[in-house]
Amino acid sequence: MEVIDLIFDEKRNLFSIPVILTKKTLHEMGDIPGKLHRTVWCNAIMYLDTGSNLTSITADEAERLYLNQKAFKNERVGGIGGFVETPTTNEVKISVMSRNSTISLNLDKIAVHSSHIKKKIEKKQGVYVQRGEEMIEMICLFGLDALEKLGGVLEIDVKNKSGKIII
């Protein structure tokens, strides 16, 4: 039995998982059989998002992994705000630390979204009076596709701000 401990982020009020993101080598992607290439990786924090069917990283992580963003495929993805066209890639592997070992996840695709979003703010029906633009920092999301690939059971204790994935 493997256990992955979740970390509660007080600032965001979300559960997070520290991960290592790795750019798949050409060998792993099946492009050049038998040849090994330099491994490119970066540390990241992914936030558990059980409402997301697709795991995502930000453009900052894509840059750190030297991904060819021109090769990304746009796909229509649904979210809380409706449907959007989102760039996706199959070049990223996620490694998660359990209490005993490292578990690697090879997802079919991962969404890549902007690292920051500018949002226009204006007064609407007297609720919000600030005008101008607000910059929102985006985060990496660990979605249902990653949870399903792990094949584990998610246990969250919101009251005590603790959680884990048992595999």
The structure tokens listed for 39 are 């491994």
List C-alpha distances in Å: 31 to 14, 39, 97.
38, 15, 28
Q: For residue 40, how far is the Cα from the chain centroid?
A: 17
What residue spans define the domains of the chain?
Answer: 3-166
CB-based burial of residue 131 (10 Å sphere; 0-12 exposed, 13-18 middle, 19+ buried)? exposed
**CATH superfamily, with its number, for domain 3-166:** Acid Proteases (2.40.70.10)
Beta pairing class for 153-157 and 92-97: unpaired
Query: Tens digits of per-residue pLDDT, 51-76?
Result: 888 999 999 999 999 999 889 999 98
Query: Tens digits of per-residue pLDDT, 98-115?
Result: 999 999 999 999 999 988
Query: Tens digits of per-residue pLDDT, 138-150?
Result: 899 999 999 999 9
The structure tokens listed for 70 are 């021109």
The residue to which tokens 């559960």 are assigned: 15
